Structure 1
Amino acid sequence: MSFIIGPDETSNSPRDFSIASNASSTSRDVAAAAAAPPPQQRTFFHSRRIKKGEIERPWLDKKDPREKWVTILPLIGIFLGLVASGLIIYDGVMSVQNHVYCPVYESDFSRPLSDKVWTKDVQVGGFGNGQFEQTTNTDENVFVKDGMLVLKPTLQNEEWMTTNHVLNLTLDGTCTSNSWKDCVAVTNTTNGTVVNPVRSARVTTKGGASIKYGRVEVEAKLPAGDWLWPAIWMMPVKNTYGPWPASGEIDIMESRGNNYSYPQGGNNIISSTLHWGPDSANDGWWHNNKKQEAFHTTYSTGFHTYGLEWSEKYIYSYIDNRLMQVLYTNFDKPFWKKGKFPPADAERTRLIDPWSQTGHFSTPFDQDFYLILNVAVGGSNGWFEDGVKGKPWVDDSPRAKHDFWNAREQWYPTWQESGQMEIRSVKIWQQKGYNGC
């Protein structure tokens, strides 16, 4: 740091001051100011960078012994987290066994559907859910093309919707159900009831490929379109423990065709469920229902493998590989205890445990089940919640199908681009030790 002092301020020579007239003094001052040289530029401050090490740091001279815990505690936490993760992974691996399997059925759909394995359901009953589709066996709704099995929903015959008509599938013997309500539908222009407003497809392996414990994998691309309901699921060959849901149902995958903005989950979410209960009013599905959201995409934009592994000790579903589990249910206690059902139903009739007498914790999932692939539409069981996202019908209304049909200009255009389910392959294996494997 340096200071420079001007020469005028260091001079010690005396100055003469004289008194003169105001005019002459002023003139001399002005002349002197004009003749004087300009003042020298003054610099007051210079800064220099402080060199490293010149600043004292007294806080380094003495360390606080407690500071080491700032490092030790996070390291302990990381170690414990790794140990816990390892135990969880180990427990999961040990709970799933590598079973030996026998192939039951495999197809890449390079050829037409085998009548020995597949059945095309022809029904109007909606499988108990009040669904709006009539399932057919026609090439319009179910066909094999370019190595794909395609299930495609289409509009119903418009004339059947607008004039009195009876759709009776028993007349030509095509109905695949023994129940009258699954085979007959009516359009009555007076009371507003109509036949099923949509035609679609449901195919099953009931007659040709079933398993008791084993593995199933279906590679498929799900449909996109409002109010579509695709599903890959399994039902028991026989109602050994009673009518649905007493004998069980396995939903490997079900979804909705609506887009990602649908509050209940659209084609960006799939769910997997087990249905079981002493009657339809007491279904324990909510004890084991899981959802899986697609990561930054939807299940309608590409193919995924929807799988199931099922043994006498557990059952779980997965997507693409066994590490991507969706639903896992351990058969560790009787299903009657799992359900915690009330002692009686709404009619005060005592509920009877239909499973525990077998002595198997896997009951009712200890019987032969077959595979079902379908694209349902709408329904009146709450799968599509009333009043949400412009739903054009109300579940409890007797005119639900009629109202849905009248709104077709809203929902049918959403089906045009990719409103069908495409299946690339189906593989079914039987666990060794059962069914002759």
Structure 2
Amino acid sequence: MSDEARSSARAGAADLDTITPIPHLSDNPFASSNNSPTPVGSLTDSGSNSWAGSRPVSGVGLSTGVLLPNGDRYFRSRRVPKGTLEKPWLKKKDPREKWTTIIPCAGLVLGLIVCGLLIWDGLRTVSNFKYCQVLDENFSGGWDDSVWTKEVEVGGFGNGQFEETTDTDENVFVENGILYIKPTLQSADLVENDNIVDLRDNGCTGTKWSDCMSVTNTTNGTIVNPVRSGRINTKNGASIMYGRVEVVAQLPAGDWLWPAIWMLPTNNTYGEWPKSGEIDIMESRGNNYTYGQGGNNIVSSALHFGPNKENDGWWRNNVKRKANHATYAQGYHTYGVEWSEKYIFTYIDTRLLQVMYTHFKDPFWQYGQFPLSDSNGTRLRDPWSWTGSKSTPFDQDFYLIINVAVGGTNGWFKDGKSGKPWIDDVHDARLDFYNAQNQWLPTWMENGQMKIKSVKMWQQSGYNGCEA
């Protein structure tokens, strides 16, 4: 090899040993001869044609360069068309991925439930007044004659009810700490043969002779009360003027039964019923849910007030409450009333679940919207105006009554509804009812009694000597 050749080889080797550093992206390898950046779209081997339709720069292959705002470039392959990049994570999702949604949502729902419970518990225990407890009865000690009175009468408070209320253990008794009010059939001999039931010498608690006497006359179809039941009250043991009452009870199931928890004035200060008022905490019917007017799946509350029996303002505040997915005969519920000089409301289980609410913002004479005169032209007069109180007649002592009535002729069970076996406006309605016992008596067998677990009454502070 000549010296010139060896010199040339050494020069080539030296060139191979020399490592040329890769220019930084900012040092544009495609820059023009004047070292100015080549705009996007002009990246060709000639450096002068537009991007579209030009061939790639030699050595770049099927790739293009995109100029970034800071002058750098990145490469994008032309071999993968836009939008066709595979995304396997969309085709086969990780089964654990769902928990990233479930866990936060479950936590949110749980938090809302807890907050709701805390708010509910706080509101239900809120009391607008201070109270003195005047009765706390759980029947653990049996029947207490000092508090309770068993009413004995046949009158039915003018409602034409079919039961005779008794003071016997057959119809009212305590068993295992539960008070039972249980209707039973009257003696067949008293119903089917000429007889007189006279309670005047047997503890009749009624005030009229019709409350104490009943007759069977087989000639005209009149019969004595065909059913025996119970009605109890706290008139001698506990009463309140403004306050609260709560009765924990399970209602009866049975056709034509009429359970009720209600209050009457201790003294008829403003006159005979309904002038002195009546508070119906709970009324229901023992018929099942298919009954046209609502059976033991519905309860109602109302106030009764008015200048006479023909003009009763109960319709102004009669409210019904339907049980949720059940009936009131399937378990115990708390039936309560809260009553003050400004309002009165009834509730079920909690004071938040109100049934009837009446605010004493207008005098009851105006609230009742009574006519100027009755049907015979007699002018009606306001029996309460002289008190100057908007809560009159509900500004006196009231006592508690609990009973299970049967039937009646006052329209509580409407004629022609769900096979009603009697018509109200006939003299032998009781007999028609009695003769249909094969229809209704079997419905009483399983749960035809009212069961009371406890009764509590509170007097509002500032009245009747309560200074809580």
Q: 2:430 aligns to what SS in structure 1?
A: helix
Identify if the C-alpha distance between structure 1 residues 266 and 333 changes in structure 2 by more than 3 Å, giving closer, same or farther: same
- Which residue in the other structure is 2:188 paired with? 158
Paired amino acid for 1:99: F
Pairwise CA distance, 1:51: 7.9
- Which residue in the other structure is 1:213 paired with? 242
| Partners of 1:350 and 1:397 in 2: CA distance | 30
* Candidates 168, 177, 181, aligned match of 1:147: 177
| Partners of 1:53 and 1:99 in 2: CA distance | 72
Paired amino acid for 1:340: Q
Rg bigger for which structure? Answer: 2
Pairwise CA distance, 1:294: 0.2
| Partners of 2:373 and 2:442 in 1: CA distance | 47
Question: Does residue 1:171 correspond to 2:201, yes or no?
Answer: yes
| Partners of 2:396 and 2:366 in 1: CA distance | 20
- Which residue in the other structure is 2:216 paired with? 187
Question: Does residue 1:379 correspond to 2:379, yes or no?
Answer: no
- Which residue in the other structure is 2:145 paired with? 115
| Partners of 2:417 and 2:82 in 1: CA distance | 69
Alignment of 1:10-49 (within 5 A): none
* 1:362-403 C-alpha deviation (Å, 9 max, x unpaired): 000000000000000000000000011110000011000011
Pairwise CA distance, 1:429: 0.4
| Partners of 2:290 and 2:274 in 1: CA distance | 32
Give the length in aligned residue pairs. Answer: 349
Alignment of 1:246-265 (within 5 A): 246-265=275-294
- Which residue in the other structure is 1:78 paired with? none
| Partners of 1:306 and 1:97 in 2: CA distance | 17
* 1:277-304 C-alpha deviation (Å, 9 max, x unpaired): 1111110101101100000100000000
- Which residue in the other structure is 2:256 paired with? 227
TM-score (norm 2): 0.73
- Which residue in the other structure is 1:291 paired with? 320
Show structure 1 runs of 4+ deviating over 2 A: 50-54
Question: Does residue 1:402 correspond to 2:431, yes or no?
Answer: yes
* Candidates 376, 384, 394, aligned match of 1:347: 376
Q: Is the 8 A contact 1:111 1:144 kept in 2?
A: no
Paired amino acid for 1:326: V
Paired amino acid for 1:124: V
- Which residue in the other structure is 1:138 paired with? 168
Identify if the C-alpha distance between structure 1 residues 369 and 165 changes in structure 2 by more than 3 Å, giving closer, same or farther: same
Aligned CA RMSD, in angstroms, stands at: 1.6
Identify if the C-alpha distance between structure 1 residues 53 and 256 changes in structure 2 by more than 3 Å, giving closer, same or farther: same
* 1:299-326 C-alpha deviation (Å, 9 max, x unpaired): 0000000000000000000000110000
| Partners of 2:271 and 2:332 in 1: CA distance | 36
Return the structure number with greater relative CO, CA threshold 8 A, min gap 6. 1
Structure 2 regions of 5+ residues with no counterpart?
Answer: 1-79, 85-118
- Which residue in the other structure is 1:364 paired with? 393
Paired amino acid for 2:360: F
Q: Is the 8 A contact 2:142 2:177 kept in 1?
A: no
TM-score (norm 1): 0.78
Q: Is the 8 A contact 2:153 2:204 kept in 1?
A: yes
* Candidates 146, 158, 164, aligned match of 1:128: 158
| Partners of 2:294 and 2:207 in 1: CA distance | 35
Structure 1 regions of 5+ residues with no counterpart?
Answer: 1-49, 55-88
Q: Once the two structures are aligned, what percentage of the paired residues are identical?
A: 66
Pairwise CA distance, 1:114: 1.3
* Candidates 404, 408, 416, aligned match of 2:445: 416
| Partners of 1:350 and 1:381 in 2: CA distance | 25
- Which residue in the other structure is 2:300 paired with? 271
Pairwise CA distance, 1:97: 5.7
Paired amino acid for 2:323: A
